[in-house]
Amino acid sequence: MAAIKLTIGEFVTLAKTTPVFDVRSPAEYNHAHFPGSHSLPLFTNEERAIVGTAYKQQSRETAIKLGLDFFGAKMRKMVEEVEAIINSKRQANNKSILVHCWRGGMRSAAVAWLLDMFGFKVYTLAGGYKAYRNWVLQQFEKQYQFTILGGYTGSGKTIVLDELKRIGHTVIDLEGLANHKGSAFGAIGENPQPSQEMFENLLANELFYKLSAWNSGFENGKEIWLEDESQRIGLVMIPNSIWKAMRESQVFFMDISFEERLQYLVQTYGIFERGKLVNSIMRIQKRLGGLETKNAINYLLENNVTESFRILLHYYDKLYSKGLHNRNNLEQLLHNIPCKSVDAKMNGNLINSITRSASQLASKVSNT
Strands 232-233 and 236-237: antiparallel
From 101, 177, 254, 311, active-site residue: 101
| Nearest by Cα to 261 from 341, 345, 150, 161 | 341
Verify whether residue 101 is a known catalytic residue.
yes
**Which residues, other chains included, contact 303 with Cβ-Cβ below 8 Å and sequence gap of 6+?**
none
278 Cβ contact partners less than 8 Å away, ≥ 6 residues apart: 297, 300, 301
Residue 17's φ and ψ, nearest 5 degrees, are -125, 0
CA atoms within 13 A of residue 176's CA, in its CB half-sphere: 12
Distances (CA, A) of 220 to 94, 157, 164, 233: 31, 21, 12, 29
> Which residues, including other chains, have CB under 8 Å from residue 167's CB and lie 6 or more apart?
348, 349, 352
Residue 254's φ and ψ, nearest 5 degrees, are -80, 110
Are 110 and 74 contacting, i.e. CB atoms less than 8 angstroms apart? no
Give the CA radius of gyration of the chain. Answer: 25
Looking at the chain, list the stretches that DSSP marks H as alpha helix, in order from N- to C-terminal side. 8-14, 26-31, 45-57, 60-72, 75-88, 106-118, 128-139, 157-166, 174-178, 196-215, 240-247, 258-269, 274-283, 285-288, 290-301, 305-325, 330-333, 344-367
Positions marked catalytic:
101
